[in-house]
Structure 1
Amino acid sequence: MSARPPSARIDWTRKSFRRLCCCTAAAAEWVEIANQTRRAVNLDGWTLRDADGHRYRFDNVRLAGRATVRIHTGIGRDTRTDLFQDRRTYVWDNNGDTATLRDARGRTVDTDSWGRNHHHR
């Protein structure tokens, strides 16, 4: 009997650069991952991917129970609540995209889509 993947969920959040003056434009867009359990989840080796195949791999990240972490597209300094992909350009498509969170074994934990013809799965 195989163990079920830990419960985590993607909350899609986009912020406009015009509302943030202290960050690079790409750092102003992010995806938020929420751990909905009371137990910590080790995200080491997990990946977050968009529909075009841009991938972010979590390294040495532990998400506490009932906690969230934002994965920013741009450049910045990682903290407990904010991680940065260190990209200089946007990843998430303005017209619609899909974020897929996979565990270290490649199993899909959650997928969230937005925009035209997309829905949460």
Structure 2
Amino acid sequence: MRARSLLLAATLGVGAVVISQPAYAAGPAIQITKIYYNSYGRTSDTPVTNTKLNGEYVQIKNMTKKAVSLKGWTLRDKQSTASGHIFKFGTFTLGAGKTVTVRTGKGKNTSANRYWGRSYTQGSVAYIWNNTSDTAYLRNASGTLKDSCSYKSKSTVYSKAC
């Protein structure tokens, strides 16, 4: 991370006054920018469909000016070890300044959308992101945490800008 500071010196007869701006830490090169959870209200309200599953998603943005390979990177939720909620990127490159949306359901992978491949069968829960609170973790192929985003639900707000 780079730090940036500005120094100003003014001569005031016997000395100098130094004014310094605070250093700002750069954010991660690849960032989670949004989580959209509880895509259609309570799960019990209506049958779970692929369209509803795909209404639940996480957006990831490349903040750099170079394309970045996400091959082997993972996206997971807080309880991923117990629940198996781990999405692993196959061969995929995220373009400079581009965003990819990782959707919970099934679909055809494109440069803008990737699909977790989850589906609902009677009695099983297919959604990834909890309606009350959760955390998304993004790790590179070596397992190093690159970014995370947490939320707590506010009854009628079903997305979190990170």
TM-score normalised per structure 1: 0.83
Counterpart-to-counterpart distance in 1, 2:104 and 2:79: 14
TM-score normalised per structure 2: 0.63
Aligned residues: CA RMSD: 2.4
Q: How does 1:22-61 map to 2 (within 5 A)?
A: 24-53=51-80, 54-61=85-92
Counterpart-to-counterpart distance in 2, 1:105 and 1:13: 24
Secondary structure of residue in 2 paired with 1:24: helix
Secondary structure of residue in 2 paired with 1:26: helix
1:36 partner letter = M
Q: Structure 1: 5+ residue runs without aligned partners?
A: 1-5
**Superposed structure 1 runs of 4+ greater than 6 Å apart:** none
Q: Give, in angstroms, the shift of residue 66 of structure 1.
A: 0.3
Q: How does 1:36-115 map to 2 (within 5 A)?
A: 36-53=63-80, 54-88=85-119, 89-115=126-152
Q: Structure 2: 5+ residue runs without aligned partners?
A: 1-27, 42-48, 120-125, 154-160
Secondary structure of residue in 1 paired with 2:142: coil
Deviations 1:37-93, CA, capped at 9 Å, x for gaps = 001110000000001101000000100010000000011111110000110111000
Aligned residues between the structures: 111
* Structure whose CA Rg is larger: 2
